[in-house]
Amino acid sequence: MNTDLTGKRALVCGSSQGIGRGAAIQLASLGADVTLLARSAAALESVAAELPRTANQRHDFITTDFDATDAAIDAVRSRMDASRPWLILVNNTGGPKGGRAIDADPAEFLVGFQRHLIVGQRLVRLLVPPMKAAGYGRIINVISTSVKAPIPGLGVSNTIRGAVASWAKTLAGELAADGITVNNVLPGFTDTARLTELFKAKASRLGTGVDEVRADAIAGIPAGRLGEPEEIGAGVAFLATPAAAYINGINLPIDGGRTQSL
């Protein structure tokens, strides 16, 4: 089975921490040259220093903020290299804040749509032509198990993630003949700073402790624990490999068995 990514360059969004960092580490461990992308230069420098590397691997990073979308896309464009195109794109960004859909200001949906789908669309339009020329491309979107079953208390996120899933499925059909696959990874409860913040917010709403909220969440996971970011990253990395060439247009839950649907 060919899981060698030597010589293939990957752009990993939101890779200064959490699942993005985990994906970057796993891609590098398979031989990919990784470009990290996030807002904090200091955090990116730290992650870049810990990426696995051989003598021939070249890792780098781009510091930018996709809320300033035009400037961010320009920053990515300025680092494109015809001799080393990005053949792997990992779309990953922090999710919208928690809360019920009925309580959300309409502007929250617009912000989420911009961050999660419009930015992805602009990156795809930028990176797909070199992928087509190479006859190899992997687009992997990190979204949520909410596309299988909405998660209570994440109204805006549930809505936006569903839109991204349908967008990706559409692209998968459009790009498959060019050797490009488009897939979604659906993390379950993963031990990240975002999950901790969501637990804190829920504890505040319920008037209980964070540890109690965490324990309740774990009780609903057949594996009996939270996922680790590197475990989600392993799924991302596999989908980026030559071995995954015939896997296209899927939603892959990585959730310890929590999602109660096929």
Domain of 75, CATH number, reads 3.40.50.720
Is residue 11 pLDDT above 90, yes or no?
A: yes
Identify whether residues 127 and 215 lie together within a single domain. no
Q: Are residues 47 and 138 in the same domain?
A: yes
Give residue for tokens 């990515």: 76
Residues 38 and 158 in one domain: yes
Pair 12, 34: CB distance under 8 Å: yes
Phi, psi of 196 (to 5 degrees): -60, -40
**Verdict on whether the full-model pTM lies above 0.85:** yes
Phi, psi of 34 (to 5 degrees): -105, 130
CB contact at 8 A, 152 and 107 = no
> What proportion of the chain, given as a percentage, has pLDDT over 90?
94
* Average confidence (pLDDT) over 115-144: 98
Q: What is the pLDDT of residue 95?
A: 87
Averaged pLDDT, 129-137: 98
Instruction: Using CB atoms within 10 Å of the CB of residue 161, give its burial: 0 to 12 exposed, 13 to 18 middle, 19+ buried.
Output: buried
141 and 152 in a single domain? The answer is yes
pLDDT in the model for residue 72: 95
**Does 16 lie in the same domain as 115?**
yes
Tell whether 50 and 180 lie within a shared domain: yes
**How many domains does the structure of the chain reveal?**
2
Average pLDDT over residues 26-41: 98
Taking 90 as the threshold, does the pLDDT of residue 257 lie above it? yes
Note whether residue 111 is domain-resident. yes
* Tokens coding 141: 């979107």
Q: What is the pLDDT of residue 262?
A: 85
Please calculate the CA angle 216-191-94 and round it to the nearest 5 degrees.
110
Give the domain range for residue 115: 9-188+228-246
Average pLDDT, the chain: 96
Residue 115 lies in a domain: yes
